[in-house]
Structure 1
Amino acid sequence: MPSLSRLLLSLTCVVALAPNVWAGDTARVYIGSYTRGDSKGIYTFELDLETGKATEAVVAAELTNPSFVAFDPHHHYLYAVNEVADFPGSSGKGAGGVTGFRINADTGELTKLNSQLSGGAGPCHLSVDHTGKNVLVANYGGGSVAVLPINDDGTLKEASSFIQHAGSSVNERRQQGPHAHSVNLSPDNKYAFVADLGLDKVLIYRF
């Protein structure tokens, strides 16, 4: 069983580290990763908020490239991107995935609910809207953003909305095309802000 320090050193990239279940002075933390080398997917550990001491990190779910994770507003469900270019079911169309999990509040265990295509290659960031009814995902490789509705049981529906970005910017090596890098909601849940590295722009959409 890996120690937290060794785990953090072995993971290629830790993109999301978010407390979920709070019990007094202890928080449960989940870590997303790229599954290169020894990493197996999503990890979890408990953090003592008084001392900063962490328990040994363990695998919460085996998943390919869950490089970013986010929770629904009530912390009942966790959603992860699958940052790949050809997720199972994409039929070579160049799309990653989004996978949902139910969280066991007592043990921190994750139970897989289902997966859906993200609408574009290389999804790298997602947000759950403030109602807990939609996942918004930014596809870095595909340069697009999509909305996946959430059923009452936490499972994901197919994308109901999709926007493809177009254009470029000054860096010929990294900005030959769009690369949607993050998507976040305004406090009133009426607007989505999408940062696009390839365009050097933050695009604002009514939601």
Structure 2
Amino acid sequence: MTHSISRRSFIKEAALVSLAAEAGLAGAKTIPEKQLLFVGTQTGPASKGIYAFAWDANSGSLHELGLAAESDNPTFLALSPDNKRLYAANEINEYQGAKSGAISGFTVDRAAAKLIPLNTVPSTASGPCHVAVDATGHTVLCANYSGGGAASFHADAQGHLSEAVSEFHYHGHSVVADRQEAPHAHRATVSPDNRFVYINDLGLDCIHIYRLDAATSKLMPNPSVLQWTAKPGSGPRALRFHPNGKWAFCIHELACALEVLKWEPHSGALTSIHRVDLLPKDYHQPSLASEVVFDRQGKFAYAAVRGYDHIMTWAIDPVSATLTLLDRTSAGGRTPRHIAMDPTDSWLLVANQDSDNIAVIRRDKQTGKLQKAGESYPQVKPQCLVFI
């Protein structure tokens, strides 16, 4: 979440008829069995919720399928492990008359490229900006940015959400006066073994560590180590575990840095291994780092920075986790809020919030490098990209 760079158009035409014609099904109401992309957005006059696209990995092209579900400011999305349900963080400050955001659940209707509402529950504090699902598909987690807290929910066999079974409200501040005046939870991440949950707190420069009871979806303070602490003013925003399950990569929004952390599976502890700056030394314009992703083999990491509006490609040493910068590539638009690797590892997609577009950039699987220019597809205020 950012206040320095605005978080708040193109008129879109549905491609459903042309897709049906391509499949020899002109006039049909369902789409061919292709890969789908769901896009969470900031809502307003020109955006109403979560949108669906058909994805063609051969050509790296998106075909718009229209509104999948109307939803209030669904700025982050997460799929259940079986891809049958999708959950959205409704990043609002009031829900049902209370000072809270909301978490919404949907059943995925793949054939129609639609999301069927299940239920919506309070997030327990205002401004939820992230949602995650554990390995069982029965624990849903959220990070409440504005309200400075986190919560967990239990999803039943059909995917319906309970009221919060755990909630935490943090206190304190750090050193950046306009961004760290209070706690700001920004990410909820489940460990590879599904035993721990990590809550990135941009406002307190730390990552809170909890034990997860997967049977009940309850979070409990971790007795071995309660948190990992970043350098003051870092603003730890995003956390993603490496495919090898040994390291976690942390994006520091305010410091525009990427830090590699060693994960200790017995205690849940995190320990810093390596940290790199994301901006060139001669670049001094306001910028905020946003996201990191890997290829599926874990050889390369890709980090996005808003303001600078580039994607950095890093080679990962398989033994030491040391990062080597390979390239800097234009994000293909303004304010890259989220990035996603397509299922074939051949393309990187970028949700550019302030230029209202999704950029599709070809990737070389051998070298890890991205092409300098890619295709662009209109989407009002894209925030999150999820393939299914």
Q: TM-score w.r.t. structure 1 length? A: 0.85
1:85 aligns with 93
2:336 aligns with none
Instruction: Report the secondary structure of 1:67's partner residue.
Output: strand
- Give the residue type in structure 1 aligned to 2:71: L
> In 2, Cα distance between the equivalents of 1:109 and 1:42?
9
Instruction: Report the secondary structure of 1:32's partner residue.
Output: strand
How many pairs are equivalent? 185
Report 1:9-20 matches (<5 A): none
* Contact preservation (8 Å) 1:2, 1:57: no
- Give the residue type in structure 1 aligned to 2:141: L
Match of 1:162 among 147, 167, 170: 167
> In 2, Cα distance between the equivalents of 1:87 and 1:57?
29
> In 1, Cα distance between the equivalents of 2:158 and 2:65?
28
1:176 aligns with 181
* Contact preservation (8 Å) 1:138, 1:183: yes
How far apart are residue 67 of structure 1 and its match? 0.3
1:74 aligns with 82
Instruction: Report the secondary structure of 1:152's partner residue.
Output: coil
* Contact preservation (8 Å) 1:101, 1:110: yes
Identity across matched positions, percent = 39
> In 2, Cα distance between the equivalents of 1:113 and 1:203?
30
1:14 aligns with none
> In 1, Cα distance between the equivalents of 2:140 and 2:92?
18
Unaligned runs of 5+ in 2: 1-10, 15-31, 213-388
Match of 1:145 among 150, 153, 163: 150
User: Aligned-residue CA RMSD in angstroms?
Assistant: 1.6
Instruction: Report the secondary structure of 2:63's partner residue.
Output: coil
1:197 aligns with 202
How far apart are residue 205 of structure 1 and its match? 1.1
> In 1, Cα distance between the equivalents of 2:197 and 2:45?
35
> In 2, Cα distance between the equivalents of 1:126 and 1:165?
18
* Contact preservation (8 Å) 2:65, 2:113: no
- Give the residue type in structure 2 aligned to 1:149: H
Q: TM-score w.r.t. structure 2 length? A: 0.46
* Contact preservation (8 Å) 2:105, 2:160: yes
1:49 aligns with 57
Deviations along 1:79-118, one digit per CA (max 9) or x if unpaired, are: 0011011012xx33x1100010011122221110110000
Instruction: Report the secondary structure of 2:64's partner residue.
Output: coil
Greater Cα radius of gyration, structure 1 or 2: 2
Match of 2:136 among 122, 127, 131: 131
> In 2, Cα distance between the equivalents of 1:49 and 1:70?
21
- Give the residue type in structure 2 aligned to 1:124: C
2:118 aligns with 113
1:2 aligns with 12
How far apart are residue 138 of structure 1 and its match? 0.3
1:15 aligns with none
How far apart are residue 37 of structure 1 and its match? 3.6
* Contact preservation (8 Å) 1:77, 1:103: yes
> In 2, Cα distance between the equivalents of 1:202 and 1:147?
16
* Contact preservation (8 Å) 2:174, 2:205: yes
> In 2, Cα distance between the equivalents of 1:182 and 1:37?
28
* Contact preservation (8 Å) 2:149, 2:185: yes
2:73 aligns with 65
Instruction: Report the secondary structure of 1:46's partner residue.
Output: strand
